[in-house]
Structure formats: C-alpha cells, structure tokens
C-alpha cells in the first residue's frame, strides 16, 4: 500500500524524449548536416517545442541565428535552458506566440516538424501550411517539413481507435503530400520517412516517465486520471501503428 498525498512529486514530463516526434539520432544528424551545407544565416522553427533540431543547426552553423515560436511555455523554458547549457543562448530566441499569420520570416531555413496545424486553422491544415511556409522562406533557402501521411488507407475500425474524430481526410498519401508541396511552390530536394522503430522509440518515450511513476504510485490521488490518459493514448497508438507515417521533406522554394 502506498502512502501518497496530493503533494507528492508528479512524474517528470517527457524527459525521455530528445525530439518531439519519431526522429532517430542518425536521421537527425543527417538532416542537420544536409541543412548546414546551405549555410543559413537565419533559422525559424515553427511550433518549435524545446527546439532540439533548431539548436543542433545553430551549433553546426556558427554564423546562424535562430527563432523558435510555440505556445507551450513549459517546452519553451526547456529550450531556453538547453540553449544556455550549450552556449547558444545569445543566438536564439524562444518566443511564446502563435505562428498563424506570423511576420517572423522570411528566413533562410524554416523548420516545421509535426506542426503544420500551428500555421493554419484549416482541416486538414497541410495545403495552407505549405503556402505559408513558402511565404516564410527566403529565395534560395530551405524548408524542412515533418508531416504525417497515410502509409495505407486506414480501416473504419482503425480510425475509430485513433484521436477523437479521426477520419481518412486527416492525411493524404506520401505521393499526394509531395504534390501539395509542389503546388505550393516547392521542389522536393530530399524525401524520407520515419521507420517503425523510430515511431516505437518516440511513442514509448512519450509515455515512459508516467508509466514508471504510475507503477510505483497506484494509489496516488491523480493515479486514475493518469492511468486513463496513458491507456487511452496507448490504444490510439496501437490503432495508427504501421498505418500513420511521418515524412521528412527537405523543400527548395521555386524562384518567383
């Protein structure tokens, strides 16, 4: 029997995650190396979270300055701490603001990893977000877009187990996603997709802190709420596992 009280320490939040998405160290290293070759002087990260990839680009390109935009203050605070620890605080700003209609660009490199909804209220947001990204990137620059797509058409049973209100129209195929990028004024320099192992590492790390805490605190006053949330998210993951993909597209803007 546990002796928890409401004042007991809550589980840490996302401490097992390096990136807030299915992105391995190997892939991140290759992406940063490729993007650094373009020598961007300005980097804009849309929906940056704690901006891990942004900080790695700045570390690889000493002359670059970065701006991360997000609405989650806890994530932004983590980004500021990380920047301070790496000696990058003087070259990056983490700003608590909406990216919709932002005037922060144009930048030489724009990152938008799993955050197209930060640029558009449309449902789905992808096409409109891509048009916004074209506005935000400098001619001759690059956009790195991380965007979900259907590996295959989901069944009705799978959709019923995903996020609330999930529908087939929420995503498109990889081929259709590339077509949307071209229609928005880009040419795809590099196309790659997250492997199943990257998804498993991400989803496991996403829940791990709270799962371990819950196992040791089953009678905590907040245990029921946390247990229900974890079980619900795990069920959603099992419903889209192997069907929902993540594309990482390095996009070159077409000159106007």
pLDDT tens per residue across span 98-147: 999 999 989 999 999 999 999 999 999 999 999 999 999 999 999 999 99
Residues 242 and 238: their CA atoms lie apart, in Å, by: 9
pLDDT tens per residue across span 52-96: 999 999 999 999 999 999 999 999 999 999 999 999 999 999 999
User: Is residue 224 scored above 90 in pLDDT?
Assistant: yes
Q: Which CATH class is domain 25-194+244-253?
A: alpha beta
Confidence (pLDDT) at 2: 47
Confidence (pLDDT) at 6: 46
The radius of gyration of the chain's CA atoms, rounded to the nearest angstrom, is 19
The residue-averaged pLDDT of 174-192 equals 98
DSSP 51: -
Domain ranges of the chain: 25-194+244-253, 198-236
Confidence of residue 8 (pLDDT cuts 50, 70, 90): low
Contact 137, 110 (CB under 8 A): yes
The residue-averaged pLDDT of 19-25 equals 98
User: For a pLDDT cut of 70, what percent of the chain falls above it?
Assistant: 97
Residues 10 and 16: their CA atoms lie apart, in Å, by: 15
């Amino acid at each position: 029997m546990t002796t928890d009280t409401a004042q007991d320490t809550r589980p840490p939040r996302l401490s097992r995650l390096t990136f807030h998405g299915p992105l391995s160290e190997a892939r991140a290293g290759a992406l940063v190396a490729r993007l650094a070759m373009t020598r961007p002087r300005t980097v804009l990260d849309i929906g940056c979270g704690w901006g891990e990839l942004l900080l790695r680009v700045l570390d690889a390109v000493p002359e670059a300055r970065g701006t991360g935009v997000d609405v989650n203050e806890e994530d932004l605070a983590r980004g500021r701490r990380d920047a301070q620890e790496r000696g990058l605080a003087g070259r990056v700003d983490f700003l608590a603001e909406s990216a919709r209609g932002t005037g922060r660009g144009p930048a030489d490199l724009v990152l938008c990893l799993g955050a197209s909804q930060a640029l558009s209220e449309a449902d789905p947001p992808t096409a409109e977000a891509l048009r916004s990204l074209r506005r935000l990137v400098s001619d001759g620059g690059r956009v790195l877009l991380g965007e979900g797509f259907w590996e295959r058409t989901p069944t009705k049973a799978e959709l019923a187990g995903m996020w609330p209100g999930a529908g087939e129209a929420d995503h498109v195929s990889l081929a259709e996603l590339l077509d949307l990028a071209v229609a928005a004024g880009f040419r795809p320099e590099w196309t790659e997709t997250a492997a199943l192992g990257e998804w498993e590492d991400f989803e496991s790390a996403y829940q791990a802190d709270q799962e371990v805490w819950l196992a040791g605190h089953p009678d905590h006053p907040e245990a029921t709420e946390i247990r229900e949330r974890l079980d619900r998210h795990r069920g959603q993951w099992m419903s889209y596992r192997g069907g929902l993909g993540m594309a990482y597209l390095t996009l070159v803007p077409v000159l106007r």
